[in-house]
Structure formats: structure tokens, C-alpha cells
Amino acid sequence: MKFLIADDHELFLQGLEFILKKQYPQTEIVLTNSYTGIFEILEKQKDFDLIITDLAMPGANWLEAIGRIHSTCPEVPIIIISAVFDPEILQKTFDIGVSGYVSKAFPNNIIMSAINLVIAGGMYIPPELLQLNLQNRTLPIRELIADLDDNKKPVKENNVLTPRQTEVVQCLSEGLSNKQIAYKLGLSEGTVKIHITLLMRALDVSNRVQAVNEARRRGLLKE
């Protein structure tokens, strides 16, 4: 795998690199300390599996910068790890297309869990933002809530998944990407990521392959 990490605090940058290298020893990690650095790197190489960035950094306005990163590498998930933790700002980042937002104040195990979840194809939404979305039904969660409202009961007695989540895991078993699943099911890509997050949690697994295997073991897939 290959990660791009950006943060203008040198100690945090080095600390995060150390933690990631420990968990993913074979991963190539590229470091920079500004949005300008991110743009320069992405001009030369776009084959990253994950981009982790701070929010407030030199080189550009964060809203424009995150949007530019996402449009440059639309298939690469983005996680923001920042000291800024305002619900309105969090919502805007998810509207742009980020896959996770984590506070720097969170313990290392929470940060790593969020990173692992996003690498597995899911989305990490801070509990504070999820609660706000449940109350206000704002995008990108609104589409998911509609799904949950219409699909509260599992398809089978031994199925812990909703009908929509069962459709998503079926698509995973067919080797479809998040974008392909979104197109097939008429959902946004962000909603697909949330469904993957929830179904992995329901099946008590940590990645897409395990989710498919567990769903197959439970007899939930159409063979």
C-alpha cells in the first residue's frame, strides 16, 4: 500500500508515520507539511491507497484544497485528522467527499480504528456528527436514513443485516467497487461507504473480504 500524509506539525506527522509503519510495515509513506506539498506530489503520483491530511495548513483554503484533492484523486479515500472539530465544518468535509474525520484529541486506538475502517472501504463518522445528522437528516446521511427507515427488519431470521446492507454485501461478493455499487443500487458513493461500515460492524468483521466470507457462511449471499 501507499499513503500520503500531510500535517504542518512535525511531531504529529512523525508520530503518525511511526504508528502506521508499525501496523503496516510494507507500506510506502509519503510525507508533506502543506497543501502546496500535496498538490505538487499529486502532480507526479496519484497511485495512493489513502490520503491523510490536517485541515488548517499553509498553501490553500481548506475547503478548496480538500475539494481539489478529491477531484484529482476521486478513487483515493481521504481522512482528515485535525484539532478543528466543529460539526458544521465536519459536515462540509463529508459533503466534499472525505471518508473520515478524526479529532487529534482522540486516543491512538480510535484514530487507527478509523484509518483501518476507511482502508477497508468504509466511512468513519464521528459520533457527534452522526447524532447531528440523525436529528437534522442532512446530507450525506439523509439518503442512508431513508434506507434504514425503509429497511429496519432483516431479510432472514439469521441475518443481522438490513435488506440494503444485504444488497451491498452481495455486490461486494461480486467484486464491485464502491462506485460500481453506488451506480447499481442508485445510491451516492458516500452512502455505500456508510453501509459497508455498518454491515462490517454487524457481521463483526474488519474488512470487505471477511464481510463476504461471513455473509456466505451465514447463507446470506445468492450463489
Summarised one tens digit per residue, pLDDT across range 107-156 is 888 899 889 888 888 888 877 666 655 455 444 544 454 454 444 444 44
Residue type present at position 51: I
pLDDT average, residue stretch 27-49:
95
- Cα distance between residue 146 and residue 214, in whole Å: 26
Residues of the chain with CATH 3.40.50.2300: 2-130
Cβ-based neighbours of 98, under 8 Å, separated by 6 or more? 66, 70, 77, 78, 79, 80
What is the pLDDT, as a whole number, of residue 153? Answer: 45
The full length of the chain comes to 223
> What CATH fold (topology level) applies to the domain 139-217?
Arc Repressor Mutant, subunit A (1.10.10)
pLDDT band at 159 (very low <50, low <70, confident <90, very high): low
In whole numbers, what is the pLDDT of the chain averaged over residues? 84
Give the pLDDT confidence of 69-108 residue by residue, as tens digits: 999 998 899 999 999 888 788 888 888 889 999 999 888 8
Whether residue 26 is predicted with pLDDT greater than 70 in this model: the reply is yes
What is the pLDDT, as a whole number, of residue 129? Answer: 67
The set of cell numbers assigned to 192 is 455505500
- Cα distance between residue 68 and residue 88, in whole Å: 20
What is the pLDDT, as a whole number, of residue 158? Answer: 54
- Cα distance between residue 135 and residue 133, in whole Å: 5
- Which DSSP letter does residue 124 get? B
The reported pTM is 0.73
Give the pLDDT confidence of 8-21 residue by residue, as tens digits: 999 999 999 999 99
What is the pLDDT, as a whole number, of residue 180? Answer: 93
| Strand pairing category for 50-53 and 100-103 | unpaired
Residues of the chain with CATH 1.10.10.10: 139-217
- Which stretch of DSSP H or E encloses residue 79? strand 78-82
- Cα distance between residue 9 and residue 57, in whole Å: 9
Orientation of helix 208-217 relative to helix 189-203, angle to 10°:
60
* CATH 3.40.50.2300 is right for the domain spanning 2-130: yes
- Which DSSP letter does residue 207 get? S
